[in-house]
Amino acid sequence: MFHSDPADRPAHRLLLRPIAPLRRSIAFAALFVAFAATAADTPPAAPDDAFATNARLLASVRNDDAGGIERALRDGAAVNSRNRLGESALLIALKKNRADFAQTLLAAGADVNEAAVNGVTPLMAAAYTGNADMTRALLARGADPLAGRPATQSIFLLAGEMLLFFQGGGTLVVVGGSEETRHALNRQKQKVARARAISEVDLLTLDDELLDILTTWDQVAAGTEGAAPIGSAFSLGNLRSGAFSHLPAANIDELLKRFERVRVARGDTVIREGDEGDYYYVIESGRFQVERLVGGAKVVLAELRSGDAFGEEALVSDAKRNASVTALSEGELLRLGRTHFNELLREPLLKRLRFEEAAERVRRGALWLDVRYPSEYQYDKLPGAINVPLAEVRNMFAVLDRSREYVAYCQSGRRSAAAAFLFASRGFQVWLLDGGLKAAEKSL
C-alpha cells in the first residue's frame, strides 16, 4: 500500500529544488561540464531482475541507444536508479548533452534533483533539456550577446569574461561566477549600451516572466516551514501554464504547507472507480495508468507521468471517482485534501459568470462549451455551442484553439466546474456558467 512518511517532510530548503534561486546556480555550467563522464553503468545491489533492467537503462543512455532506453523503461527500470558512482540516467544524459534522452527520462518520472551533484542545480537541468524559455549558448570572443535580444529576456554570464559599455560612458569587466554576474548583464543599475566577449563566453537566457515566476515561488518557499519536499511535480511547465500558474501569490505559502508526499509501490491502486473523492494528486515521479470499467471490462484511458495531476474531477464536481488509477512503477505523489484543494486551488481557478455576463462574453467572441452527454446536448444546447463531454475533456487539450475564450456549462454547474478546472489548469481561457442551465432558465 502507498503511505505517507512523516520523515519525508524536511525543512523548507528542500522544498522547491527544481526552481532553486538563480543566485545559487548561476555558476553551474562550469561545474557541470567539468564533471567527468567516466562511471561504470552498474547500479548498486538490487534484486536480480531489477538490477539487470536498471543496468540496461543506464548503459543505453551511456551508449546513445534510444531504443534501449524505451525498452528498459517499458520493462520497469527504475528511472531514478544510480550507478556505483551515484549518477542517475538523467545526469548521464545531461552530461552527454542529450536533451532528447533527458526529455524521455523526465517524462518517465526522472527526478531533476537526481542531477544536483557538486552544486549543479535542477534549474540547470531545465536549461539543458530544451525549455523554450531557457536557452544556453556558447559565444566566441568578440561577440555582442546583447545585440538583437528582445527586451523581455534576461541574460546571465555563466563562464568567461565580458566587457560592458554603459550608456553615457564607462565600462565594466565582468567574470562568470563573480558577484557581478548574479545579476543579468542587461539588467545592471546603469543601462548597458552594448557588450563584447573578451573570451569565449557561456550564457544563460531566461524569459523575464519565467524568471519572475521562479523567484516568486522560491521566495515563498524559503519562508515556508514544515512543507512537503516538492520536486518535478512543480515543473516549469506546471508553474508557467498549469494549475499552479493561476494561484494568487497569497495562496502559495498555504498550498506548500498542505501538500503531503506519499510513496507508492508498483501495482498499488491510488484511487478506485466508484469511491468518494478525498484527495487531489500531483505526480512527483513514476508512471500511473488510468482505467475505467466499460461493460465489465477494463479500458485503459491514459498513462500519467511526472508533473501530471489526477483526482480533481470528483472533488470539483462533488461526484464519485469515475476511473481508477494504478501505479505502473514505484513512484511518489503529492496529495492535497478535499477542503484545502477547494479553498486553495479550485476556487482561484474557477471564474464564474452569471448568464447575462456569459452571454455578453459569447457575443464578443467566446464559445459556449457544453460538457454534457451528446443526447443532452442535442436536446437543449445553447446556440453555437460545441459539445465536449466531461469524459472527453483531456482528449481535447490538443484540439481546441487556445487563443479562443470559452464558457463551460452543463445542467447544474457541477460537471462544467470539473471541465472548466481541467481546461484552465492546462492554460485555456475558460469561464464557468454559474449554476448551469438551471440558473440560466431563471434569468430568461
Which residues are catalytic, by number? Answer: 410
Contact 421, 350 (CB under 8 A): yes
Residues 6 or more apart whose Cβ sits within 8 Å of residue 114: 80, 82, 88, 90, 91
3-state helix, strand, coil in the chain (%, to 5): 40, 25, 35
The radius of gyration of the chain's CA atoms, rounded to the nearest angstrom, is 24
In the three-class reduction of DSSP (H, G, I as helix; E, B as strand; rest coil), residue 355 is classed as helix
CB 94 within 8 A of CB 70: no
DSSP string, 224-292: -TTPPPB-GGG-HHHHHHSGGGG--HHHHHHHHHH-EEEEE-TT-EEE-TTSBP-EEEEEEES-EEEEE
Q: Quick one: CA torsion of 106, 138, 134, 401, rounded to 10 degrees?
A: -90
CB of 332 within 8 A of CB of 229? no
Q: How far is CA 358 from CA 390, 396, 403, in A?
A: 20, 22, 18
